[in-house]
Structure 1
Amino acid sequence: SLNAPLQMHIVQEPWHTIGVDIMGPLPVTQRQKQYLLVVVDYFTRWVELFPLRTTTSSDIAHILVDEIICRWGCPTYILSDNGPQFVSELFTNICSSLGIRNKTTSNYYPQTNMTERMNRNLKPMIAQYAQENAHSWDRHLSKLALSIRTSVNETTGDTPAYLNFGRDPKLPLDLLITNPGNNEPLLPTSISTEVDTYKQYLRKDLLTAHRIAQEHNEVRKMQQKNKYDQHSSKRSFKEGQLVWVSIPSVLKHGNLILYTKDLAVLFKSLVLPLLSSTVFPME
C-alpha cells in the first residue's frame, strides 16, 4: 500500500478541537433549507447541527463565530475537508485572527475527519426524517442532536452531555419513569453552602470524567492507528522530486460522490514544498 501511517491528533479538553462538515443537498424544506452543517467537538463528541439554504464562506463563518465561538469559546484547531468554504480567504482570515489553526483533510481519505464519520451515522437518521417529513426535516434537528448528546459514546464511555457539563440532562422520558419526592424543599436551607458543595463535587467529577474519557480516546485512537498502519507504508519525498501520482476517479450517483482507486488516473508530477511529514502537494 502507498498509504502513509495514520497521524494521531490527541485532544485533552472539551472544545480544543472541532470538526466541521457539510451534508447535502437534502430535500428542500418549507424554509428553503437544503444543506446541513455538522460541527463535532472531538473530546466530548458533542454535536451541533445547523440547517442552511446555501453553503457560502460567509454562511459558515457566521455560524462559526455566532453559534460556536460565542457559545463554547475559540477552539485551537478546526478540522475540515478542503472544500471551497473552508479554504476561502474569508474563512482562513477569521481563523487566523482568532488564533485558530485550520487543518484540512484530503477528499480521498475522509476517514481522517471525525465529523465525516459522524455524518455517516447521521445520514440514515436524516433520511428517515426527510422521508417522513420531506419539507420539515430541518425542524427536527434539535431532537436529533439531543439524542446524540445524551447517548453513551462507545469511544469515551460517557455521554457528550456529561463530559460537557458534568451531568446528564433530565429528559422528558425521565419525568415519566421517576417520581420526584414531594418533601424536597424548593430552595436549599443554605444556598451558599449548597453551591460551594456542588461546585467542589462538579469539579472533582468533571476532572475524573475528562481523565477517563481522555484515556478511552487515546486507547481508541491507538487501536485505529494500529489497524490503519497494518496496510500502510512510510515513504519520504523531497521538494522538486519527480513522482508518479494516482488520483482516484470520481463517481457520481445522484447526490452521492464517491472516489474509487479502481479507475485511478496516473500521471507524473513534481513535489512542492512539504506541508507535513505525510502531506506532499504536487505541481
Structure 2
Amino acid sequence: MFFWNKDTYILVVDYFSRYIEVAKLNVTSAATVIAAMKETFSRHGIPETVVSDNGPQYASEKFKDFATEYGFVHITSSPRYPQANGEAERAVATVKGLWKGGGEKTKALLSYWATPLECGYSPAQLLMGRQLKTTLPQQPVTLLPRWPNMKQFKTKQRRYKANQQRQYDRRHRVRPLTVLQTGQTVWLPREKKEGTVVQHATTPRSYIIDTDEGQIRRNRTHLTVSTQQTGVEENAGRESSIPSHNTQDTVKPPYVTSSGRVSRPPKRLDL
C-alpha cells in the first residue's frame, strides 16, 4: 500500500500480476484506509500478505485488529528505505505517468490493465484469466477466458527478475554485507550516532538498534560496522590498498563516505 499527495490516494498492487487499484481518500485515517481495503478485498479476495510503508494508519490498533479479523499477515518496509517497498513505488510512478496528460483517470487505468507487460500478458489476464474490453476495436474471441501457462510464466518471471538483480548488482558493485550479531556496536550515518544491535527484526534485512533516544528499526544498508570490530572496511569494492610490509610511516585507513563508498587517493608515479 502507498499514499501520495496532491489529492490523497491509496494504491493497492497485486504483486503477482502487477494489477493496480487506486482509491481516492478524503482523509488519511485508519478508518478510511481500512474501508478502501475492504472494498478491494470484496472484489479480489483477501490476500495472504499485505506489505505497506510505516504510515501511522498502519501502526494503529484498528489496523492490527483488521489484519487479525481478515486473517492476513501485515509487513512494513524498513523506515527511510523506500526500495524495500519497490512494487508500490514503481506502481506510483506508473499511475503518475498514466495521469500526467490530464485525461480521464479511469480510462487510463483500464488501458493499463489491458496492455500486455514484458511477459506478453496483461495484468487483467494474469489476475482474471481473460482480456478486458476497451474502447479499441477487438475480436470477440480475444475476450473469452483463457488462462496463460502459469508454470511457464513463473519460470520466465524468475529468470527475468534474477537477470535484473544480476545487472543491478554488477552496475552498482553490490557486495553482501556481514550479518550483525546481538550486542554489536554500529554507526548510523543518517542519525550521526552510534547504536547497539538488539536483535534481528522480523522484516527481512532489518535490525532493531538501541540508541540513546530509544530503539529504532533500520535496514542493514543503514548500518556501518567500524573497522575496529571487523578488521576490514565495509562496502569496499576492492581489497584495502594498505601495504602489508612494515613501515615507519603511519598509514591512515581509507576514508568512508556516509553512503559506504571508500574514497582512496589516486596512485601516482614516484618520478
Classify the TM-score, shorter chain.
0.5 to 0.7
Residues in 2 aligned to 1:213 and 1:123: alpha-carbon distance in whole angstroms: 28
Per the TM alignment, residue 109 of structure 1 is displaced from its structure 2 partner at its CA by: 2.9
Which structure has the greater CA radius of gyration? 2
How far is 1:221 from its partner?
2.2
**Pair 1:164 & 2:164 matched:** no
Letter in 1 for 2:45: G
- Aligned partners of 1:86, 1:100: CA distance in 2, in Å? 13
Q: Deviations 1:89-108 (Å, cap 9, x if unpaired)?
A: 21122113322111111243
Q: Does 1:212 align with 2:152?
A: yes
Say whether residues 1:21 and 2:2 are aligned partners: yes
For 1:239 and 1:108, locate their aligned partners in 2 and report how far apart those are by CA, in whole Å.
22
- Residue ranges of structure 2 left out of the alignment (5+ in a row): 211-271
Contact 2:9 2:25 (C-alpha < 8 Å) held by counterparts: yes
The correspondence of residues 85-104 of structure 1 with structure 2, limited to 5 A, is 85-104=57-76
State the partner residue of 1:269: 195
Residues in 2 aligned to 1:275 and 1:121: alpha-carbon distance in whole angstroms: 31
One-letter amino acid matched to 1:115: A
How far is 1:157 from its partner?
A: 2.5
How far apart, CA to CA, are the structure 2 residues paired with 1:147 and 1:112?
28
Sort the Cα spacing of 1:116 and 1:169 in 2 relative to 1 into closer, same or farther, 3 A. same
State the shift of 1:228 in Å: 4.2
Counterpart amino acid of 1:278? Answer: R
Query: What do residues 104-163 of structure 1 show as CA deviations (whole Å, max 9, x unaligned)?
Result: 11243323320111111222333432xx7xxxxxxx332121111011112x33101111
Q: What is the rounded CA distance, in whole Å, between the counterparts of 1:112 and 1:159 in structure 2?
A: 25
Measure, in 2, the Cα distance between the counterparts of 1:35 and 1:107: 21
The answer for the alignment partner of 2:250 in structure 1 is: none
> CA 1:272–1:228 in structure 2 vs 1: closer, same or farther (change >3 Å)?
farther
Q: Is the 8 A contact 2:111 2:134 kept in 1?
A: no
Residue 273 to residue 119, structure 1, CA distance change in 2 (3 Å): same
| Distance in 2 of aligned mates of 1:211 and 1:68 | 27
Is it true that 1:145 corresponds to 2:109 in the alignment?
A: yes
**C-alpha spacing 1:213/1:84, structure 2 compared with 1 (3 Å):** farther
Instruction: Tell me how far apart the structure 2 counterparts of residues 212 and 55 of structure 1 sit (CA, whole Å).
Output: 41
Q: Going by fraction, where is helix more abundant, 1 or 2?
A: 1
Cα drift, residue 217 of structure 1: 2.3
Q: What's the counterpart of residue 161 of structure 2?
A: 221
Contact 1:111–1:117 under 8 Å retained in 2: no
d(CA) in 2 for partners of 1:71, 1:61:
15
Q: Residue 55 of structure 1: CA displacement? A: 1.1
Q: CA RMSD in A?
A: 2.4
1 or 2 for the larger relative contact order (CA 8 Å, sep ≥6)? 1
1:48 aligned counterpart, secondary structure: strand
Q: Which residue of 2 aligns with 1:136?
A: none
- Does the CA-based 8 Å contact 1:161-1:168 persist in structure 2? yes
Amino acid at match of 2:55: G
Distance 1:236 1:54 in 2: 41
Query: Cα–Cα, structure 1 residues 107 and 152, in superposed 2: closer, same or farther, change >3 Å?
Result: farther
Asked whether the equivalents of residues 12 and 22 of structure 2 are also in contact (C-alpha less than 8 Å), the reply is yes
Q: Percent identity?
A: 27
Alignment check: 8 A CA contact 1:152 1:159 kept: yes
Residue 237 (structure 1) aligns with: 180
